[in-house]
Structure 1
Amino acid sequence: MSLWTAEEAAAATGGRAQGDWIASGVSIDTRTIQRGDLFVALTDLRDGHDFVAQALDKGAAAALVSRIPEGVPASAPLLIVPDVLKALEALGRAGRKRMGGKVIAITGSVGKTSTKEMARVALAGQGRIHAAEASYNNHWGVPLTLARMPRHSDFAIIEIGMNHPGEIAPLSRLSRPHVALITTVAAAHLEAFESIDGIAREKGAIFEGLEPIGTAIIPEDLPVTRILRDCADESGALVVGFGTNGMAKLVQSKIENARLKCRARISGETVDFTLNTTGTHFALNAVGVLAALAAAGADVKEAGKRLSDWQPPKGRGAVEELGAIRLIDDAFNANPASLSAGLATLAGLEGGRRVAILGDMLELGPDEIALHRAIADDPSMASVDLIHLAGPRMRHLYDLLPTARRGAWSETAAELAAQATDLVQPGDIVLVKGSKSSKISTVVDALRKSAQTPST
């Protein structure tokens, strides 16, 4: 498959192509590069130019560079540009321009990647679909996704994230979505923002890139919904609210055999769907997805049927049988909203003792201690039988817990992982949740290892 010819890539980037090559893909990583890829020598933690020779040896069609790297022949197949990142953005812009299908962009404080995957799965069978890989949602992930997009795609699903103010709007303008979905707005990256209102305005900036007469899909049930609606109105978008209220509404959800059976009304149409999870927050996000797909012209009833094929991504709430326990692996990341959702998932599962193993939530700003303390008052905590905690911030929650439900506390997740087998017992339902940098996933690894170790 031809994705970029040397001539097309040079025209898109304004660069100088050496050789008459054809690229079938675009890669930034020599560890996963495929034969025929255009290798993009980005400079991040390491300079990608140091890996150009390796990429070409592995069969890369060419390399996008700002200079001829040492050890690479002057006649090597290259695309030489002044700035590699700007050239990648230009390549992404050209990839978007030549695509005639519908583009759906997704952002939110919680659930971007899982919601993107829901949309991808739900669209199966309705055309050629291109979706962001993993969590490629930043200043290089979005243009890379667009640069990889086959020219004849019918639908593209773009994930857009942020850590600081001013990041979302440029990525949305690059993507030019027909539909933009915000999953939710919550206390995440508060170190970079003064308030939740500031986060809401940044999330609402996704509507600035909408195509004319585009559609904004916004959560209806938030304190900041008004801000999101104002952002959408300023962009001239059609607005569809979703949640337990709105034009896209979750009418019913009930747990059956560790799955959610749901019914929604999407712009007046009844849609039934089943999710392989018990987390109600996933059901609400699914309603947002269905609203977005309907706005993009997809068959919403068919999309609802396909949602049963979706599985929560690793580390984002998947429920699995792990030896004698049932594990909810939600260790990829955490903020107050996603932790509350994880606790609700734990509370919704029937069976044995419910155990929560929680690590610090990071990047919450000056109110981080109060936000950790507030977990004690979460409605789902009453259903949790035992709570183990790791990290200095979680110590503040530990001190508030009733003695009967207070488990172990450790300064680090590694210390907690070392005693993993003592934290649970056969029959337990176990939630593991925390920010990625808290390394609470080491507890998940330890539990998995113990489940695979034969007893003596």
Structure 2
Amino acid sequence: MIKRTIGQIATIVGALNDVSLFKDQLVHGVIIDTRKLTAGNLFVPFKGENVDGHTFVRDVLEKGAGAAFWEKSAGPAPEGLPVIVVEDSLVALQTLSKAYRNELNVKVVGVTGSNGKTTTKDILFALLSTKYRVHKTEGNYNNHIGLPLTILSLPEDSEVAVLEMGMSGFGEIRELTQIALPDAAIITNIGESHLQDLGSREGISKAKFEIVEGLKSEGLFVYNGDEPLLQERVKGYGGSKETFGRHSSNTMYPTKLVPSGFGTTFSVNVSDEEFHLPILGEHNVMNTMGAMLIAKFFGVGFEDMQKGLSTLKLTGMRLEVSTGAKGETIINDAYNASPSSTKAAIDLLQTISTTGKRYFVVSDMLELGPNEEAFHHEVGTYVTDDIDCVLTYGPLSSFIAEGAKETLPEDRVIHFDEKSALIAYLKVVVKSDDTVLVKASRGMKMEEVVLALQKE
């Protein structure tokens, strides 16, 4: 993590006050949450809708923080304390993180896309860790605050940083990539998330493509070559680029792809190795191929990539497999949802080998804009007879139920207005050899269904 004196930090961020009394005091690590305080941290206060972080500055310094930012607009700064007055706390945080990134001898990989960002980040970490000391974005620290905090948490001996970049509007990826200055960047896909803010898939592709604006001139841009919107947008890009996807027109594509237990065995056109991916879904093979192209760019051999995949651990609630109280298999994919990722979940459930029934438990997909009802209905019509029962919860998911009834008998599609009723139904009907896949946007808190099934 960053270790600098208050004087050095003050110079980097352009402090508006005299810090000479504390200039040689060492600060290490940066926090925005006082509950995560360890001695010597730099505390960055923000003004929220309900809470102003400046009210905690004196207390956090008395409890051992090394220093704190203080926005000029917050009024007179506390006297006699190691406070660095700045014009804007967020700008100061971002400025400090960019300076720290430039001081480190670290290669950076930027990861964005509508779906699969976090999984791809985890795969990249597994592949690159076979050769390098790698640090990655933890959890969903992928926005204008989270990414700078991730950079500032990098150990000084880090050789590679894998940084996830999320967004909800135009200009946000541009801001992140210009802080991170990646040596390689990947767009996993273009889906429908954030249509509410960006208006169309074309708008989403434009916003995601901003990642190349910070990409180093000698860097590598990797993208899903099966996506026409990216094919069109990349025409004006003059840097080095490679593609992955299902079709043979891509730099890397699968020549073999076979479900294997709760994973997938696959081969690719550019290697004689056979790879085993210990997570479910053809779409994750696509994510893996994109990660493999970047690992290859960083000098990781295919044999080492196979070893790396065997160590893969995913961030929670992304195709997380567990066993329920009755012995049933539960697949928790309730962290995020869009039409494309929900269809991928349907594809996955239909291919799982089981002697029991396949239950698809799905809730609302959020932030889809004015056509949200049509998107939900379309997802419902995507269900085939290979799924035994579709259980929906939430106002928008009722349209999934309507669509599913066009392909399945009505008694195999049940909509619930109450989550408790859904849970009670599952606890009665599910048997030990059944498989239950739970899919939803994070705001629907469908992990509660998973936890309920795991309990006696």
Same fold (TM over 0.5): yes
Structure 1 residue aligned with 2:333 = 330
Counterpart among 86, 98, 101 of residue 96 in structure 1: 101
Match of 1:384 in 2: 387
Which residue of the partner structure matches residue 354 of structure 1?
358
In structure 1, the residue corresponding to 2:289 is in which secondary structure?
Answer: helix
| 1:333 maps to amino acid | N
**Residues 96-135 of structure 1 correspond to what in structure 2 (within 5 A)?**
96-135=101-140
Question: Aligned residue for 1:44?
Answer: 48
2:315 matched residue in structure 1? 313
Q: Determine if the alignment matches structure 1 residue 202 to structure 2 residue 204.
A: no
Deviation (angstroms), 1:135 = 1.0
Task: Report the Cα offset of residue 299 of structure 1.
Answer: 3.9
1:3 pairs with 2:9? no
Provide Cα deviations, 1:402-441, integer angstroms capped at 9, x if missing partner. 3355343122435534544235333210011111122322
CA displacement at 1:92 relative to structure 2: 1.1
Count of residues in Structure 1 that have an aligned counterpart in Structure 2: 444
State the match for 1:86 in structure 2: 91
CA contact (8 A) 2:390 2:414 kept: yes
SS in 1 for 2:228: coil
**Secondary structure in 2 aligned to 1:382?**
coil
Pick closer, same or farther for the CA change 1:67–1:194 going to 2, 3 Å: closer
Task: Report if the CA contact (8 A) 2:2-2:156 is conserved.
Answer: no
What SS class does the counterpart of residue 381 from structure 1 fall into?
coil
Structure 1 pair 125–184 and aligned structure 2 pair: CA distance change class (3 A): same
Letter of the aligned partner of 2:253 in structure 1? K
When residues 43 and 319 of structure 1 are mapped into structure 2, their CA distance, relative to the original with a 3 A threshold, is: same
Change (3 A) 1:100 1:405: farther
AA matched with 1:132: T
Cα distance change, pair 77–423 in 1 and its aligned pair in 2 (3 A) = farther
In structure 2, distance between residues paired with 1:77 and 1:356: 55
* TM-score normalised over the length of structure 1: 0.90
Q: What do residues 147-195 of structure 1 show as CA deviations (whole Å, max 9, x unaligned)?
A: 2233432111111111112211121111111111001101111111221
The answer as to whether partners of 2:333 and 2:440 remain within 8 angstroms in 1 is yes
Greater shift, 238-247 or 11-20, is seen at: 11-20
* Secondary structure class of the residue paired with 2:143: coil
- Matched residue SS, 1:8: helix
Residue 444 of structure 1 corresponds to 450
Q: Provide the C-alpha distance between the structure 1 equivalents of 2:95 and 2:333, rounded to a whole number of angstroms.
A: 36
What residue in structure 2 maps to residue 28 of structure 1?
32
The answer (yes or no) to whether the contact 1:218–1:229 under 8 Å persists in 2 is: no
1:255 corresponds in structure 2 to: 259
Report the Cα offset of residue 108 of structure 1.
0.3
> Structure 1 142/227 Cα, relative in aligned 2: closer, same or farther at 3 Å?
farther
The AA in structure 2 aligned to 1:431 is L
Q: C-alpha distance in 2, partners of 1:4/1:348?
A: 53
Residue identity matched to 2:294: A
Is this contact kept in 1: 2:280–2:319, CA < 8 A?
Answer: no
Contact 1:178-1:296 within 8 A present in 2 as well: no
TM-score, L = length of structure 2 = 0.90
Equivalent pair of 2:111/2:187 in contact (CA under 8 Å):
yes
Give the aligned partner of residue 212 of structure 1. Answer: 217
CA drift at 1:71: 13
Query: Does the alignment pair 1:369 with 2:373?
Result: yes
- Whether the 8 Å contact between 2:4 and 2:27 is mirrored in structure 1 is yes
Given residue 388 of structure 1, which amino acid in structure 2 is its aligned partner?
A: L
Percent identity over paired residues: 31
**Counterpart of 1:282 in structure 2: which amino acid?**
N
Residue 80 of structure 1 deviates from its aligned partner by: 2.3
CA distance in 1, matches of 2:429, 2:337: 21
Instruction: Specify the code of the residue in structure 2 equivalent to 1:10.
Output: A
Q: 1:361 to 1:7 in 2, by over 3 A?
A: same
